[in-house]
Amino acid sequence: MTTLSSLFPKHGSRKAKRRIGLGVGSGMGRSSTKGMKGQTSRSGNTRKESKEGGQMPLVRRIPKSGFSNASFAVKGQWVNLGSLAKVFKAGEDVTPEILKKKNLVKDTKKIKVLANGELKHALNITAHAFSATAKAAIEKAGGKAIVIENKKAK
């Protein structure tokens, strides 16, 4: 009867781990298969495989390929309701161009209004996007949240 304790791998299918540095009689003694002298024969060798001495490394010799969409990404800017409440008076219109003039944003490509801070007076805000809580806060104060349509979306 065959049991788990009597099973062994087929002879020759498993190779014993190479034990180096166990003396001359082991067949891998003296320099322990590491060659003669030098950095790689010593213990503590942590030289990176990518280093090739004075030669230009392979990674830098091979031409780069592929595509990244990062350079085409539209980087948006955000404005908080608290900062709008400080700068603008009740009933004023807020547009991306006015926000840039008042130095609240650096660019007018894509502006999102966030609900950080309090808005106690009505403002008519025109922007590319609004957070849900910001839109609710603007309408609660009696103002309007007007969304600018994105040209690429059409």
Q: Are 119 and 90 in contact (CB under 8 A)?
A: no
What is the model's pLDDT at position 106? 92
**Euclidean distance between CA atoms 99 and 111, whole angstroms:** 10
pLDDT value, residue 154: 44
* CA gap 79, 99 in Å, rounded: 9
The low-confidence residues of the chain, meaning pLDDT below 50, are 153-154
* Of the candidates 98, 86, 84, 89, the residue with the CA atom closest to the CA atom of residue 134: 84
Digit-coded pLDDT (tens) for 86-118: 999 999 999 999 999 999 999 888 999 999 999
**Structural domains of the chain, with CATH:** 75-147 (3.100.10.10)
Residue 139: which H helix or E strand, with range? helix 132-140
The C-alpha atoms of residue 17 and residue 132 are separated, in whole angstroms, by 63
Compute the radius of gyration of the chain from its Cα atoms.
Answer: 35
Query: Residues 53, 58, 63, 66: is their CA dihedral positive or negative?
Result: negative
- Which residues lie closer than 8 Å to 133 by C-beta, 6 or more apart? 115
Tell me which amino acid residue 3 is.
T
Which pLDDT value is given to residue 47? Answer: 79
